Structure 1
């Protein structure tokens, strides 16, 4: 039985003055309750009760080098000793911009910011400034931050495969109470991986649509990859119709490849948003893309604001993280993918062994595990058939086995994980699956 008395005490203490008891609403979903960390190193995290976990949560994605990586820590400390932030320019901004343009296939220029939400806000403004149009096409199951103008219900119910473009454009549920009732008027919401609806919508509304924004892989909702030719069609149509094509790579950037998913898939969007793994755990994000769009920042036609944008600590963290990932011709990517293939394959074997229906969708060093009575999951409506409660119970039971998971089924590995961690995790999964059907959830 997992002992978490100190975490319970701290959670009650936090709820007195910290709204919701946690600093981000997402963390409140952990069962049996939000845990409190004491320290972490490499692939392991320790909580305040002394429990140690193999960590596949990885800070919800940013910790691609694992916890407290020595090279990253040394770079951050060196930057801090020179001053945290200046409100002036410094070499780190130039170095990072040069490096990003060199690495990202779509990048002529970059703009630095602090979070994925901010990067998406800037990308949408650049698209509207460039086209003079206002509508934005986005897709169910995708997440682009929590600003009022783009945050729709998530994960929520999907749109049916038979939906028409006219129906889709009118179905835009807000993501939260408190959003402006007018905030989503410019959003056209479509099902993803449906080329017919995509084409009919873009051709019907081309005169209104400023941008199409899409995740290259639907990581949060099943790790669903694009159907063959789908992103290529998106690129072709947007180019033909004068619509800006934005790939949101806040999750996939620096995780699926050094140049992100658009490098891996050979797709060149007009703009890309990046964050999370780029800073290795320090808050930083960016928009990168074509000079003809980025020029609106040069002239101040599009304001790019943010007190801490490009601060010395953040740029030092990004430079150190990217350079660590690039060592030995990017061998860390091959190694992380090999580990995830080993883990995801092992989970499929164990699901079969215990006669539990489930799917594991894996690409690169990330996968989504779900309990579902389907042989494959390649669209959002199918993903919504999963037994989310059963998985949440599975994640809770895994805590007692010393494995930290995100309750929604998304797993990450880092460069710090070893095959021994994978082997230990598979043994834990075997034990948990053996008792899962008897568990109450």
Structure 2
């Protein structure tokens, strides 16, 4: 049984002056209490009560090299000794921009920013400035950051649980306090429905500046695009003069070095990237074709941010991407094979314990859910999952020494190995027995 006395005490202490007791609202959903970390190395994390965990949370995705990676740490420390940030230009910006345009198929140029939310905001501005149109098509279950102009109700642990209206006529804000007019330019559609997509784009092409989509619906079931769906999206947006934005803040540098669009062979006009790019240091970017990015070149679109492209973040990104690129990106095959093994093992254990469920896995990411369905290939089905049961499972897994997200999304890093997978499957076996 894990100890949580110090963690619970610190949470109470934090609530005195830290709003919500946590620095990001999503973290408050962890049970029995939001965990307080003391240290971490590799695939494992130690909390303030002395409990050790195999970590599949990985800071909600960024830690693709694991915790406290030696090479990444050395690069960050070296950069800091020369200055944290200048408010001026430096070689790291040039090197990172050059590297990103080499490895991302869609990138002629890039613009550096600090978070996924900021990158999405910039991509939308570029799209509207380029087309002279205002409307943006987005999809149920996708997450594109928390800015007022794109954050719609998103049924998931720790976020608003409202129905956003599948016809796009009634769009519910993601949180209280959003401007009443903030979502007027949004058209909200079901994802993976080619008929609805084509009908909507053709009917409203004169008003639509952009379509923004996750290439894989990671946050809501790790659902892959149906065969031909992204290709149709690319074909229609090209034909109708609409900018295609693929939001790869999660999938970028995780599904492959060239992101999901590289893995799938789709070339969007713009892509947003973040999370794994910095290996745990805050950085994001918009990458895209020269025609759109020239709007920043000629100052048509202002791109602002005090810490954009700072020395520490660019050093972290360069170190992370170069590590991932070693041996022709061989770490991707390793991570994927380990997660195929883990996902297959979980499916077998669910059968063993007579618990209906689905594990959707692609590359080094998967979503596990308890649901009475053979498969989950759309957001409507995903919403039928037993979220309360999974949250309880995540709490039991914590007690078994495994750290996972309460919503079902799992990540793996380059430093996880077969020993961690074996120990995790043993812990899952015990946890499922306790869940029953």
Structure 1 CA distance for aligned equivalents of residues 137 and 178 of structure 2: 19
Aligned-partner Cα distance in 2 for 1:331–1:349: 28
1:363-386 per-position Cα deviation (integer Å, ceiling 9, x unaligned): 000000000000000000000000
In the other structure, the counterpart of 1:149 is 149
Q: Which runs of 5+ in 2 are unaligned?
A: 156-160
Match of 2:60 in 1: 60
Aligned length: 431
Are 1:130 and 2:130 counterparts? yes
Matched, 1:423 2:422: yes
Matching residue of 2:218? 219
Alpha-carbon separation, structure 1, partners of 2:328 and 2:130 = 37
Distance 2:232 2:172 in 1: 27
Q: Distance in 1 between matches of 2:292 and 2:305?
A: 20
Q: Distance in 2 between matches of 1:169 and 1:379?
A: 17
TM-score, structure 2 normalization = 0.98
Hey, what does 2:76 align to over in structure 1? 76
C-alpha distance in 2, partners of 1:231/1:15? 44
1:215–1:158 Cα change, 3 Å: farther
Report the Cα offset of residue 171 of structure 1.
2.4
Paired position in structure 2 for 1:32: 32
Is the 2:92–2:314 Cα contact (8 Å) retained in structure 1? yes
**Which residue of structure 2 lines up, in the alignment, with residue 356 of structure 1?**
355
Aligned to 1:170: 169
Distance in 1, matches of 2:429 and 2:100, equals 42
Distance, in Å, in 1 between the alignment partners of 2:344 and 2:124 is 39
SS in 2 for 1:169: coil
Describe how 1:265-414 pairs up with structure 2 within 5 A: 265-414=264-413
Task: List gaps (5 residues or longer) in structure 1.
Answer: none
On the 8 A contact 2:110/2:286 being kept in 1, the answer is: yes
Given that 2:368 and 2:409 are in contact with CA atoms closer than 8 Å, whether structure 1 keeps it comes out as yes
Paired position in structure 1 for 2:5: 5
Of residues 61-70 and 2-11 in structure 1, the stretch that sits farther from structure 2 once superposed is 2-11
CA drift at 1:396: 0.1
Query: Conserved in 1, the CA contact under 8 Å of 2:40 and 2:67?
Result: yes
8 Å CA contact 1:159, 1:191 repeated in 2: no
Distance 1:196 1:9 in 2: 53
Instruction: Give the Cα separation in 2 of the matches to 1:360 and 1:368.
Output: 6
The answer to whether the Cα contact below 8 Å between 1:158 and 1:384 also exists between their aligned partners in 2 is: no
SS at match of 2:419: helix
Partner Cα separation in structure 2 for residue 51 and residue 434 of structure 1: 22
Q: Counterpart in 1 of 2:115?
A: 115
Matched, 1:87 2:87: yes
* Counterpart-to-counterpart distance in 2, 1:224 and 1:387: 17
User: Deviations along 1:193-219, whole A, 9 cap, x unmatched?
Assistant: 000000000000000000000000000
Partner of 1:190: 189
Q: Which residue of 2 aligns with 1:242?
A: 241
The offset of 1:300, in angstroms, is 1.0
Distance 2:353 2:67 in 1: 33
Q: In 2, Cα distance between the equivalents of 1:95 and 1:3?
A: 46
Q: TM-score, normalised by structure 1?
A: 0.97
* Structure-1 separation of matches of 2:40 and 2:274: 22
Pairwise CA distance, 1:169: 3.1
Contact map agreement 2:133 2:206 (CA 8 A) in 1: yes
1:158 CA drift (Å): 6.4
Comparing 150-159 and 113-122, the one that deviates more: 150-159
Q: For residues 142 and 48 of structure 2, what CA distance do their matches in structure 1 show?
A: 34
After superposition, give the CA deviation of every residue in 1:162-210 in whole Å (9 maximum; x if it has no partner).
x6xxxx2312110000000000000000000000000000000000000
1:144-166 Cα offsets, whole Å, 9 max, x none, are 00000000001246678xx6xxx
C-alpha distance in structure 2 between counterparts of 1:157 and 1:383, whole Å: 15
CA contact (8 A) 1:51 1:402 kept: yes
Instruction: Indicate if the aligned counterparts of 1:157 and 1:384 stay in contact, CA closer than 8 A.
Output: no
Structure 1 equivalent of residue 158 of structure 2: none
Work out the CA distance in 1 between the residues paired with 2:18 and 2:431. 34
Find the residue that maps to 1:17 and give its secondary structure. coil
**How many angstroms apart in 1 are the aligned matches of 2:371 and 2:162?**
16
1:23-65 CA distances to partner (integer Å, 9 max, x unpaired)? 0000000011101000000000000000000000000000000
In 2: Cα distance, 1:50 partner to 1:157 partner: 38
